Amino acid sequence: METVVERMRDGIDEAGIRRAGEILRRGGLVAFPTETVYGLGANALDADAAEKIYRAKGRPSDNPLIVHIADWDAIGKIAVDVPPEAKLLADAFWPGPLTMILKKSAVVPLATTGGLDTVAVRLPDHAVARALIRAGGGYIAAPSANTSGRPSPTRAEHVIRDMDGVIDMVIDGGDVRIGIESTIVDLTEGTPTILRPGYVSREMLDGVLGRVETDRALLSEDENLRPKAPGMRYRHYAPNAPLVIVEGAQQRVRERINALARENAEKGRATGVIGTDESQGCYTNALVKSIGSRTDEASIARHLYGILREFDDSEVSVIYSESFDTPQMGAAIMNRLIKAAGHQIISV
């Protein structure tokens, strides 16, 4: 199939949105920008369409999809027993990078929810995304638009790299604003529980609800604890070369990475380093990329996946990364980085 690229970097193109909506209504796949990462959209209420997403991504069929809506009222059709916390969170964070897990209604096919009786719902803070959702029927299942296991796409070129010839259309909205996926909070079992950290931090949720837990499996290295979000069980976001995180005091981290890079150079192996604007000049014997500034955590989140993908275009045989425990998004950034590193961490 030929993948059509619709350019909407400067906002909504009504005719393009109509064409995209038409594709979704007849069961096709359209990738589109959101404020978090690019999504791969299909009609969430059409089991055959949802199944196409799993095939295009190579995604395990037990890993459910997030249903994207364009208005709060849309929730009534796909969820039942919606608790008051949902409205409180929507008022505080929607449109925005927060996904809520609710009990699903009968209209949502099990293909969309990975066989679960719950449904994940999000209202994205992106005008093109919302226009597309409305044009496509109001309920668009959309996981990140990458091949399963690869870093999530933060610009249309990343989507095209993974999905060209496999999906009907990509809407090119330029670079995304946030760069890591939404926070997922489960509202179906007692105390609201964070299943995936994201832009909306635990403190921000606490501020609205007064009580929030974090899925214990996310905080523990114990492999017997299964994360409640099926997607958090899989290795993810991985670049081709092995990635190792080096954590500790910044000066010692730099020294250790330089020592490792020197050893590699002596063996004729090329090293990649993920540093910051502040540290990049300190490294030798390595291909160094800055992820952003330590004084601007949004820049670190925004560049994380792009940098992992950039290293795939270079010949490095190992990548070392500094650790980024930033105030608001640190939990989310480190969650993604540790998964990308397959838990390989050196403490200095």
Amino acid at 315: E
Closest by CA to 85, choosing from 102, 70, 69, is 102
Count helices and strands (H / E) in the chain. 11, 17
Q: Of the two residues 205 and 257, which places its CB atom closer to ligand AMP in the complex?
A: 205
Quote the least distance from Cβ 35 to ligand AMP, whole Å.
Answer: 13
- Which region among 27-35, 60-68, 140-148, 168-176 touches Mg ion (by CB under 5 A)? 140-148
Q: Of the two residues 93 and 320, which places its CB atom closer to ligand AMP in the complex?
A: 93
Q: Of the two residues 39 and 192, which places its CB atom closer to Mg ion in the complex?
A: 39
Sheet holding 345-347, edge to edge: 287-290, 271-275, 318-321, 243-247, 345-347
Name the site residues for ligand AMP (rule: CB under 6 A). Answer: 63-64, 66, 101, 113, 116, 118-120, 143-144, 181, 184, 195-196, 228-232
**Which tokens in the block code for residue 42?**
């299909």
The residues, ordered by sequence, that sit 6+ positions from 231 with a Cβ below 8 Å of its Cβ are: 63, 64, 143, 196
Residue 118 contact partner, candidates ligand AMP, Mg ion, none, CB within 5 to 8 A by sort of partner: ligand AMP
Q: Of the two residues 33 and 275, which places its CB atom closer to ligand AMP in the complex?
A: 33
3-state helix, strand, coil in the chain (%, to 5): 35, 20, 45
34 lies in the site for Mg ion, by CB under 5 A? no
144 lies in the site for Mg ion, by CB under 5 A? yes
Amino acid at 112: T
Q: What size, in residues, is the chain?
A: 348
Closest by CA to 180, choosing from 98, 113, 250, is 98
Quote the least distance from Cβ 279 to Mg ion, whole Å.
Answer: 29
Q: Give the residue closest to ligand AMP by C-beta.
A: 231
- Which region among 143-151, 165-173, 190-198, 210-218 touches Mg ion (by CB under 5 A)? 143-151
Number of residues that bind Mg ion (CB under 5 A): 1
Q: What is the DSSP letter of 74?
A: G
Q: Of the two residues 90 and 184, which places its CB atom closer to ligand AMP in the complex?
A: 184
Backbone angles phi, psi at 173, to 5 degrees: -105, 20
Residue 21 contact partner, candidates Mg ion, ligand AMP, none, CB within 5 to 8 A by sort of partner: none
Q: Which residues bind Mg ion (CB under 5 A)?
A: 144
